[in-house]
Structure 1
Amino acid sequence: MTDNKRLKIGEGKISGYLSVFLAIISLGFVICAYFPDTFTTKDFRDIYNPQIVKWSILAVLILSFVFAFISFILSKKKHYGFISTVLIAATIFLGTALPEGSGIQDQSVTIGLDWLLIDVLVSAIVFIPIELFLPKRLNQSKFHDEWRTDLVYFIVSHLLIQIIGVIVQFPVVNMFKNIGLEGFQATIQSIPFIPQLFVALFVSDLFQYTSHYFFHKIPYLWRFHAVHHSTKHLDWLAGSRTHFFDLVVVRAMAFIPIYICGFSSSVFFTYIVIVSFQAVLAHSNTRINFGFLKYLFVTPQYHHWHHSDNPKAYDKNFAIHFPFIDMIFGTYYDEGDAWPESTGLGDVKYPKGFAKQFVYPFVKNPQEKQDLKDPSER
């Protein structure tokens, strides 16, 4: 999987991209501060500390300026440094004019710009260096043919976090709210934090395993899940490529045990952080050796085999958190230290771009995976 566009250290492009990226992040946070009732997620507002937010924005701005300065020095083309400088100036201007003491009016629907900015910033800080210095596929560029499509998926799923949450929670809450769960939930909440967190991850993984399995086995559901498997360049952004229908159904299945058990708020928020982190890690392009941990937690190697276009690995490794669930149900696949040579849907011609991929499952059935097998294996 060769890509001559792979970035090289010392050309000024990496620092240029980083300066623009960080400048956009800081400007986005200022926009959230101007319109918190529209662009911030209601569930997260109570945990924001104004001083921490202020100094975090300042730190991101300083980093953006430093990378812009490096880009000016190293790069023959100065446009990235210039763009980030303009964005930094706009952020400083808007930030100093920010009104104080404005109240927040709760709206029924908000745009999760804050969640998008936080998640993309943290994920980028953690995974871009890992993929840059410890990549598994050495010749895979960060700017491969599919990265723009994956970025759109990442942005849309985060901006619509509350809308997705309402769609997911509404049927579950209405089905289970009046069946007398109070005593059971009180028992669950009395469990200490660590074992309660394990129970939350385990039961949600069982439900996600089930829905994931059926999305592979039922042809009509596979239409939608094939969108996720269409990527040939697995990296930290690739996990976001999930059709809206697939996303809602799988999250609804995961929410059922979370709601029924009524886990404590600390366990719930920790669960959200772990799920978000592990989803990115599992798809990341990194050769980090997790050793025996690969038998305890889902790792990139384990999940890359799930995305393999090798027929031997089809319909394997469905678990999201714990590989032993696949071991229990006979869907575990392990090739020792080996990694799949390639990923995707094989020879299936799949449309590129978010809009086309959204419509495609409704109008056409992608070629069945079984059709890709060698004649001797059919």
Structure 2
Amino acid sequence: MSETKRLKIGEGKISGYLSIFLAIVSLGFVICAYFPDVFTTKDFRDIYNPQIVKWSILAVLILSFIFAFTSLILSKKKRYGFISTIIIAATILLGSALPEGTGIQDKAFTIGLDWLLIDVLVSAIVFIPIELFLPKRSNQSKFHSEWRTDLVYFIVSHLFIQMIGVIVQFPAMTMFKNIGLEGFQNTIQSIPFLPQLFVALLVSDLFQYTAHYVFHKVPYLWRFHAVHHSTKNLDWLAGSRTHFFDLVVVRAMSFIPIYVCGFDSSVFFTYIVIVSFQAVLAHANTRINFGFLKYVFVTPQYHHWHHSDDPKAYDKNFAIHFPFIDMIFGTYYPMGNDWPEGTGLGDVKYPKGFARQFVYPFVKNPQEHHNLKDPSER
């Protein structure tokens, strides 16, 4: 558990942090508007409405100001409100001087600042209140000892979304391009939306399950996946802690069926939204009771057991979307109403910080929390 003192409502710190966070997000959007060819994701540009973007930035700024004012009233330390006010002023000043009608030059690679800002804003709006008012581990602070590391993972994976996307798509496009899939893909696209979406989630989950299982069972691959399991403080941000090698391989595996089947664009985008949301939800620190749905979809309780440091739960609950996949393959953990007491790698000491964790799997083999040296022994 974290040694950091948990934030309390009424001290002015929560509103202060929220104000600074929203002010920085607003400033980031303005920077995107100044340099769209560098900081915006090419695939998203066509869906942006300038007026909606403008009013959205204004709404975020107003919220930031409200939180800053609240912090100034409640907090004995006024620095949070003042810092936020300075950022707000800078954002307004830069925003008022935005040039009109600037063209966008397509570049081979862009920095996905827009995707980062949108995802962190939406995730924070949804999950911070949930974890604040309905936490499973009530003594776990939002600013625990690992939050900075997880934030770096979140930022890096979003900023380089285009580069990651190209790498992920390469194997599928290389192996299955021009092999006469048009008829099969037309058949898939003729399926109604909801059944087609279920097929997309199912086949993707089967491939992800396989890749996930292999990363647990092959010692050298476990080195990389152990990075994801090293966190002892599961929350909505912790799901981003994934080694680049692990991230690319697993996503590439899950993209193969998506590419081969050629799902309708509406199904594909809905699939992306569901995958992004469920990945965050599965790691969230929340005690929300999903009832019988925990046997239908992967929930926080289900996935927290996958991260458990209890030996009896090792190599269980691999599925990303559907628990019945683990039930079929014998890797389901019968959790009932129980939650794991702790998560992480047990007594295994893993380096802290993004840079050290990136290098570590290439040079050293962490003691496996399975206590098994050879995959054949499992």
Q: TM class, shorter-chain normalised?
A: over 0.9
Letter paired with 1:148: R
Aligned residue type for 1:196: Q
Q: Distance in 2 between matches of 1:96 and 1:190?
A: 48
What is the Cα deviation at residue 3 of structure 1?
A: 3.9
- Secondary structure at the aligned position of 2:371 is classed as helix
Q: CA deviation at 1:171?
A: 2.2
Shift in Å, 1:49: 1.2
Cα deviation 1:231-276 (Å, max 9, x = unaligned): 0000000000000000000000010000000011111111111111
Q: Counterpart of 2:277? A: 277
How far has the Cα of 1:371 moved from its partner?
Answer: 2.4
1:2: how far off? 5.8
* TM-score (normalizing by structure 2): 0.97
After TM superposition, the structure 1 = structure 2 runs for residues 19-168 of structure 1, keeping only pairs within 5 Å, are: 19-168=19-168
Question: Cα deviations across residues 297-347 of structure 1 (Å, max 9, x unaligned)?
Answer: 000000000000000000000000000000110000022110000000000
In the alignment, the residues of structure 2 paired with residue 175 and residue 38 of structure 1 have an alpha-carbon distance, to the nearest angstrom, of: 31
Deviation at 1:50, TM superposition (A): 1.2
Is the counterpart of residue 289 in structure 1 residue 268 in structure 2?
no
Describe how 1:172-321 pairs up with structure 2 within 5 A.
Answer: 172-321=172-321
Question: Which AA in structure 2 matches 1:26?
Answer: S
Contact 1:346 1:372 in 2 (8 A): no
Match of 1:180, SS state, is: coil
Kept in 1: contact 2:150–2:237 (CA 8 A): yes
Distance 1:156 1:31 in 2: 18
Q: 1:13-37: CA deviations, max 9, x gaps?
A: 0000000000000000001111111
Residues 311, 372 of structure 1: 8 Å contact kept: no
Distance 1:40 1:177, change over 3 A: same
Q: Which AA in structure 2 matches 1:90?
A: A
- Take 2:246 and 2:303, find their aligned partners in 1: how far apart are those partners? 18
Deviations 1:193-234 (A, max 9, x none): 111111111000000000000000000000000000000000
8 Å contact from structure 2 (residues 38, 110) kept in 1: yes
Give the SS at the match of 1:357.
Answer: helix
Q: Is the 8 A contact 1:150 1:238 kept in 2?
A: yes
Amino acid across the alignment from 2:255: F
Query: Where does residue 370 of structure 1 map in the other structure?
Result: 370
Give the aligned residue type for 2:37.
Answer: D
Q: C-alpha distance in 2, partners of 1:334/1:235?
A: 22
Moved more, 209-218 or 78-87: 78-87
SS where residue 47 of structure 2 aligns? Answer: coil
Given the superposition, is the C-alpha separation of residues 111 and 214 from structure 1 closer, same or farther in structure 2, using an over 3 Å criterion? Answer: same
1:301–1:339 CA contact under 8 A, matched in 2: yes
**Pairwise CA distance, 1:170:** 1.6
Answer yes or no: is the 8 Å Cα contact 1:302–1:334 preserved in 2: no
1:7 counterpart residue number: 7
Unaligned runs of 5+ in 2: none
Identity %: 87
Q: CA–CA distance in 2 between the matches of 1:106 and 1:232? A: 42
Q: Give, as a single letter, the amino acid of the residue that structure 2 aligns with 1:363.
A: V
How many Å separate the matches in 1 of 2:372 and 2:185? 47
Q: What is the rounded CA distance, in whole Å, between the counterparts of 2:292 and 2:3 in structure 1?
A: 32
Secondary structure of 1:371's aligned partner: coil
SS in 2 for 1:136: coil
Retained in 2: the 8 A contact 1:189–1:264? Answer: yes
- Alpha-carbon distance, 1:104 to partner: 1.1
Instruction: Tell me the CA shift for residue 4 of structure 1.
Output: 5.0
For 1:160 and 1:99, the matched residues in 2 are separated by 27
Instruction: Give TM-score, length-normalised by structure 1.
Output: 0.97
1:349 aligned partner, one-letter code = K
Residues 228 and 243, structure 2, Cα contact 8 Å, conserved in 1: yes
**Residues 37/293 of structure 1: CA separation in 2 closer, same or farther (3 Å cut):** same
Q: How big is each residue's C-alpha offset from its partner over 1:26-64, in whole Å with a ceiling of 9 and x where there is no partner?
A: 000001111111111111111111111111100000000
Partner of 2:358: 358
1:105: how far off? 1.1
Q: Note closer, same or farther for the CA distance 1:84–1:2 as it changes in structure 2 (3 Å cut).
A: closer
Partners in 2 of 1:192 and 1:42 — Cα distance?
29
Q: 1: distance between equivalents of 2:348 and 2:141? A: 23
SS at match of 1:369: coil
* Root mean square deviation of aligned Cα: 1.4
**2-side partners of 1:78 and 1:317: how far apart?**
46
Indicate the residue corresponding to 1:339 in structure 2. Answer: 339
Give the Cα separation in 2 of the matches to 1:235 and 1:245.
Answer: 22
Residues 16, 71 of structure 1: 8 Å contact kept: yes
Q: Residues 4 and 145 of structure 2 are in contact (CA less than 8 Å); yes or no, is this contact kept in structure 1?
A: no
